[in-house]
Structure 1
């Protein structure tokens, strides 16, 4: 939704954007930086140099650092919406009256997001000790995961030897098959189906069919194409 413009800012004659405290031109620069950073994080990962982001966004490096003093601040701003979506996924799983279904949907949802968004995957699996907001939100998500796991075990559907840290292994494994954007969704779905099948116990019905395999070949490089 477009930003709502407030009346002309006093003393400057430049319209200010409601809710941000920034002049309209400054807000446009900020939005351009965020959009550019997101595109670069997704295609190249979160280690893209800040100077590269500034150049692609067509702003000065000083302007970039004035809005986002550190890379952590920029990463947090770029992926705040995804963290909210992740938390919503946890809440839906906890509200599901079938603990195993909630567990499966959570894994499938997060891994599908990973397959579409490499930058968020890198951010979620990394540590940002200086960004309290990001870490606090991630801890909430991890606590939600822990409860989803506990309920699935209590229902007798998830292996008792499944450890919460195995979730990180799942996301790391999924990250390993999504290097090629053309095959990432199919490869991710099949990997997750294999993993969920191995985690399940006390199955009272035949296993769900696996999704169709991705067109992969052994030894093929899965690096994302250079941009």
Structure 2
């Protein structure tokens, strides 16, 4: 499995060394950031032009993305961004509740001052992005907050599971969440942080469950996101070093 990063467009994380990794990471981040709407067709030729790589490199990246469940790849139909159903959403949030409630249960009362400060900085940045109506940045930071909690748990399996669940969550948001709303609500993240500062594992898990339930309940209407040109989508990631 390709190693993913807690990053997105505009990240200062160094780019992967291999061209296949570069394509993989950019497509993964574009799904998370909702720059690639559900149903978008990922044509090899367009991606090769967008990244100035061969179609062989693109094909390898698409196969890896399909193996990791980020895209679908079907004979005679090519690669597409998935279009998850409401039933898929139920499964995703069931899994997220299991993983993330356990993550915060383990972290409650055990985070250092430096770790809490880093998490507060993420939430503050998310709030600024939301106020400035920078949707993609708010979404990226929201996902990064959840991934950072999983990373701090010290269990790499938790982190990998959440990395696999977040793309489908973003696609569900794009399909079923009212336009203009962020992936999560930053004030909910602040409440989570308050719970984590206290040595109350049960309270932290309850707050995470409430938070995830709130997100799931917000998925109500079926939207039809516009499909952008791939060269426009990935210009953001080339500029950010992805």
TM-score, structure 2 as length reference: 0.29
Q: If you compute each CA radius of gyration, which structure gives the higher value, 1 or 2?
A: 1
TM-score, structure 1 as length reference: 0.31
RCO (CA 8 Å, sep 6+): is it higher in 1 or 2?
Answer: 2
